[in-house]
Structure 1
């Protein structure tokens, strides 16, 4: 399989999100530049050399996407495929089942999807944007829910390669990932019926600007699905970590749910609902053989799992759904 963007470049002008195509070839070239990301010199040939098995059975509504579950491989081929896919570690978002190979990712992203899916409008026939989509796991689940077009944007070159590895076995199925940030989107691109921003807001130095940028991607009456870290507190309260939060340097604002609602109202959203609040468990985020670096257990107080190693409240995530 050749990594190419010809299909989405051809498709976009015929969609409500045609403006996304503006300057896109140059943005893709920059996002996947081997001069910027030296590892692409080994990752791209690796992905393009994955074995071909013809059309495979795929269940995009199963927790692990169940790719080729009815096509078991001989043990030697299964081991070879495992070794090849492990060269794309760390795998953080998943899980995936590919031809008998179970990719046990750091995050049980299926648990997040199960918490979010019951509260969003039907995705059937919709044009969907997933901002900061990681490996693209949730993009595939959105396609399984009936979306007409799913575009994931993610600047991480490794995450992009993981998407292309899974797409190699799934086929495109109207799911496309672009190596972009939200700032790379054309101004007021509009056109998307649903926009997801999950696990991004707390990394933004200006959360209000992030919300305005998400708004600019939606068509009138479109829906925003926002998931982010929160803390307890009244309206107007937001925790600003002094340095690191759960060992992450790039965490800027952890608002209360009431503050999040206030921010969304100020930006122009309405019908805002907090649909889920969940403290991340050691079962949902952990080290595995596919992500063998430090994970949540290493970021929490060893004597109190309700606190980070820095003494802040342990990671708790809220999901809000809002409309324009």
Structure 2
């Protein structure tokens, strides 16, 4: 079941009060079955999820729900079959009552690179933009966040998140909403920390995205932005005319110096790059839970330092700044 009653009850007396009037309709629009033809099937899979009492949950060093002894082999097989109905699973991994859900991305590796550079998340109100199925949201909760709100307009990811939350068997203060950042009220200035990881290069207007992120943050709140970058100096930007690593929705890949300049231009303080890492085929690859092509197929087979189109292979950088 997909429901947000606890969140909607929380909003009116919270820093997110300006959002409370519009959010119910935004949720309804984001989960409109007429817009998404596969959504009824995904909802049916969610309804088939076996009811299992979770003996333990761990979100601090992994996302692990329950234990193998919480259910018998037949129930575990039923659970696996239900989870497989939502393939592809892109962000993870998860451990669910003894099932290792090995996703396309080793998102835990990214989290390990990011966390040393965060302001403490304990008791913070957090927004995760483009959160996918909410893997990093669970890790934020594991760091003691007061409440975590993830947003992603893909209903498949929203249903995947609700599968995990239903298995967690507790009303944790964490939600994934079927909306985009443009649906937030302008100049909300509510969140203590805003994450934008793996989103920036998909936005047609980089400055508008930075403005939206800044307007979501309270004064002094922290931005954590992870994105594809290129090697180079101030002013260097790659704007692929066609695809990049077989993705057709990649717009701007700046150098680190250029990204820092853009952050400063948009009014962020103390902008800094805290990590730069080449994406490896061990971090992003096909698995049983994501059976389609992945990074190994997106690179030049003769020269893996290039994409299939001849662009520099993916390098990701993490930027931190304050509003």
What TM-score do the two structures reach when normalised by structure 1? 0.97
CA contact (8 A) 1:230 1:257 kept: yes
Q: SS state of the match for residue 94, structure 1?
A: coil
1:242 paired residue number = 241
Distance in 1 of aligned mates of 2:141 and 2:75: 29
Distance in 2 of aligned mates of 1:22 and 1:198: 28
Q: SS state of the match for residue 64, structure 2?
A: coil
Distance in 2 of aligned mates of 1:47 and 1:108: 24
1:303 paired residue number = 302
Distance in 2 of aligned mates of 1:13 and 1:103: 37
Q: SS state of the match for residue 88, structure 1?
A: coil
- Per the TM alignment, residue 70 of structure 1 is displaced from its structure 2 partner at its CA by 5.6
2:276 paired residue number = 277
2:261 paired residue number = 262
Q: SS state of the match for residue 175, structure 2?
A: strand
Kindly report which structure 2 residues correspond to 1:9-158, keeping only aligned pairs within 5 A, or say none: 9-63=8-62, 65-69=63-67, 71-158=69-156
CA contact (8 A) 1:57 1:70 kept: no
CA contact (8 A) 1:3 1:48 kept: no
Distance in 2 of aligned mates of 1:34 and 1:69: 34
Cα distance per residue 1:27-48 (max 9 Å; x no partner)? 0010000000111111112212
Distance in 2 of aligned mates of 1:195 and 1:310: 33
Cα distance per residue 1:235-272 (max 9 Å; x no partner)? 01100112000000000000000000000000000111
Distance in 1 of aligned mates of 2:120 and 2:221: 12
Q: SS state of the match for residue 90, structure 1?
A: coil
Unaligned runs of 5+ in 2: none
Distance in 2 of aligned mates of 1:76 and 1:321: 46
Unaligned runs of 5+ in 1: none
CA contact (8 A) 1:22 1:186 kept: no
1:319 paired residue number = 318
Distance in 1 of aligned mates of 2:197 and 2:234: 22
Cα distance per residue 1:39-78 (max 9 Å; x no partner)? 1111112212311122431000132x11112635322221
Distance in 2 of aligned mates of 1:56 and 1:269: 44
CA contact (8 A) 2:271 2:319 kept: yes
- Per the TM alignment, residue 198 of structure 1 is displaced from its structure 2 partner at its CA by 0.2
2:190 paired residue number = 191
